[in-house]
Amino acid sequence: MPEELLPPPKHIAIVMDGNGRWAKKRHLPAAAGHKAGAANVREILEAARNLGVKALTLFAFSTENWNRPKLEVKALMALFSDYLDGHIDELKNAGVRLRFIGARDKFQPALLKKIQFAEQETQGNHEFTLTLAVDYGGQWDVLNATKILAQKVKKGVIDPEAIDEATFEAQLSLNDIEYPDLLIRTSGEYRISNFLLWQLAYSEFYFTDELWPDFKQAALTQAVESYQRRNRRFGGREE
C-alpha cells in the first residue's frame, strides 16, 4: 500500500448498471428504473465536481442495447431526448462541456439534431467534461479507428509503418482528454461489457453491489477513497 494517498482521479468512467433490477424490486416497469437512473446523473455529476474530478464518462446505451425489447428502447430514447431538453442550459451555465461518443447512425434525425445542438452550446466550457456513451461499444470504437486509418493508408495520407499507438489513439473516442483513472461499475456485475476497451488499459476498477439509482454521493466518495489507496504502477515496479 502506498505511503501517501493518490490525488482524486481526474477522470472517472461509470457503467451505470441496475436500473431494471431497481425497478423490478419495486414492482415498477423498466422505464421507471431508467428514469430514476437518469435523475441520478445530476447528483453524481455534482458529487464528482465536489471531489475534484474533472471529467466523467457514463455508459448510457451500448450497441448491444438495441437488442432489448422495442418498447424499452423507445422509452430510453425518449428519456435521452428529455434529458437534453431539460439540462443543456443548466450544464452550460455550470461550465460543463457535454459530449457524446458512439456511432449515431441509428438515431432519429430529431434526436441527432438535439445531440449536435448540446455539443455546440457547451463546447466552450472547460471546467468539467461530461461524456455520454450512447450507441457505443469498445469493439466498435477500435474497429472504427482501424477503418479510418485504413482509408488514410489507401489514400496515401499515411505510411502504414508510421502507425504507432499515438496515431491509433488519435482516431479513438476520448482522444482529446486523459483516459479514465477509475472505472466504476454498479449492480454487482464484474465485467466492463465492451466499454472503452482501449482506454481502460491501465484504469483502476471499482465494483459495487449498489444499483445505479441508489449509487449516491457517499458511494462515489467511497469509490474515490478506495482509488486513492491504490498503488498505480502502469506495468512498472517500484525499487
pTM of structure: 0.93
pLDDT one-digit tens code per residue, 47-94: 999 999 999 999 999 999 999 889 889 989 999 999 999 899 999 999
The active-site residue, picked from 17, 135, 141, 181, is: 17
Q: Cβ(124)–Cβ(98) under 8 Å?
A: no
User: What span, in angstroms and rounded, lies between the C-alpha atoms of 21 and 30?
Assistant: 8
In CATH terms, the fold of domain 11-137+178-228 is Undecaprenyl pyrophosphate synthetase (3.40.1180)
The active-site residue, picked from 19, 40, 50, 65, is: 65
pLDDT one-digit tens code per residue, 15-33: 999 999 999 999 999 999 9
pLDDT one-digit tens code per residue, 201-237: 999 999 999 999 999 999 999 999 999 999 887 766 5
pLDDT one-digit tens code per residue, 123-154: 999 999 999 999 999 999 999 999 999 999 99
Which residues in 38-49 are b (16+ Cβ under 10 Å) and which e? bebbeebbebbb
Q: Cβ(171)–Cβ(148) under 8 Å?
A: yes
1 — pLDDT class (breaks 50, 70, 90):
very low
65 is catalytic: yes
Mean pLDDT to the nearest integer, 99-119: 95
Report the pLDDT value the prediction gives residue 89, as an integer from 0 to 100.
94
C-alpha cell at 156: 496515401
How big is the CA angle at 104 (ends 98 and 109), to the nearest 5 degrees? Answer: 95
User: What span, in angstroms and rounded, lies between the C-alpha atoms of 105 and 118?
Assistant: 17
67 is catalytic: no
Report the pLDDT value the prediction gives residue 22, as an integer from 0 to 100.
97
Rounded to a whole number of angstroms, the CA Rg of the chain reads 19
